[in-house]
Every structure is written in structure tokens, then in C-alpha cells.
Amino acid sequence: MNNVELSAFPVITELRLSWGQMDAFQHVNNIVYFRYFEDARLDYFARIGFGGMMNEEGLGPILASVNCNFRFPLTFPDTVFVGTRVTRLGQHSFTMAYALFSQRFQRLAADGDSVIVSYDYRAERKAPLPEAWRAAIIRTETTVDPAAAQRLAARKEQ
């Protein structure tokens, strides 16, 4: 994902680094990158209307896994832009991809992905991805790549 462009992502989150995010090695601590991904994920959720995170049936998203590839160390001061998109839609889950860019250094600092599961919080188990979520994701993805959105819509993986 090293040569990816921020314009390939339908949701872009701007975040300012703070001095307190740096560690003893004078760069942003690795755990903070996961916070950046979390902020970006929540921005994406707001864009597609998750809002309160749980619908009236008790369904909501839950994080199943998250991965980060550290490409370049961030240091204060800087502003980062995190691009977020959905790369896979399954029957019970979807995969989100992230690309984190340093404004100061004009380069990719990290990329990663996460798997989000549709979860029934009342029954405490996974649930089929609601069609309303699927439609909102496809609508959002269509803003930057209509062909990719069509592929997402056509595939209903396990």
C-alpha cells in the first residue's frame, strides 16, 4: 500500500499530533496509531449513519481484529490525515483499510486494516450484516470508486 493516494479513500480524517503522544524514543508511540485508526473508523461510521452505534434491534459493529504496518515514524509537531475505506463486505462482517499520511513529511506513515463484525449485543453473538449498513457502505464507497463499490455489492462472502 506504499504508493496509495489519499484521494482513493471516501472518508478522510484530519488529526493533530500532541506532544504527549511521543514516547522516550522521541516519536509517536506505536499504540497511538491504533487510536488514529479508531478515530478514522468512527468518522466512517458517522458518515454511514451508525451514529449511536447500535440500532433498535440491538445490532452494532464490534471490532474483531486490527493490523498496523508502521512505515515511517511520526514526530511532533505534525498533522496526519487518515484515509478510510471498506475493501470487503461479507455476510456478517466487513474489512476496513486505513492509510495514515504525515502532512509534515508528505508521506505514508502507516497503513492497516480491521475486520468489523455485525454483532447482536442482546444475544451476544454475530449477526447478518443489515442491508441498510451494506447499502450505506456501498453508497459511501461509490463516491471515490464506483467500480469497486459494484464489486463490493456483488460479493457476499462468508
Phi then psi for residue 73, to 5 deg, are -75, 135
What is the number of residues in the chain? 158
Answer yes or no: is 62 within a domain: yes
> pLDDT below 70 — which residues of the chain?
1-3, 51-54, 148-149, 155-158
Answer yes or no: is 1 within a domain: no
Answer yes or no: is 156 within a domain: no
Q: Would you say 72 and 128 are in contact if contact means Cβ atoms under 8 Å apart?
A: no
Answer yes or no: is 140 within a domain: yes
pLDDT at 158: 41
| Total of domains in the chain | 1
Answer yes or no: is 150 within a domain: no
pLDDT at 4: 75
Answer yes or no: is 14 within a domain: yes
Would you say the pTM of this structure is higher than 0.85? Answer: yes
What domain range is 121 assigned to?
A: 6-144
Helices (H) and strands (E) in the chain, counts: 3, 6
Q: What is the pLDDT of residues 77-122, one digit of tens each?
A: 999 999 999 999 999 999 999 999 999 999 999 999 999 999 999 9
CATH number, domain containing residue 50: 3.10.129.10
Answer yes or no: is 126 within a domain: yes
Answer yes or no: is 151 within a domain: no
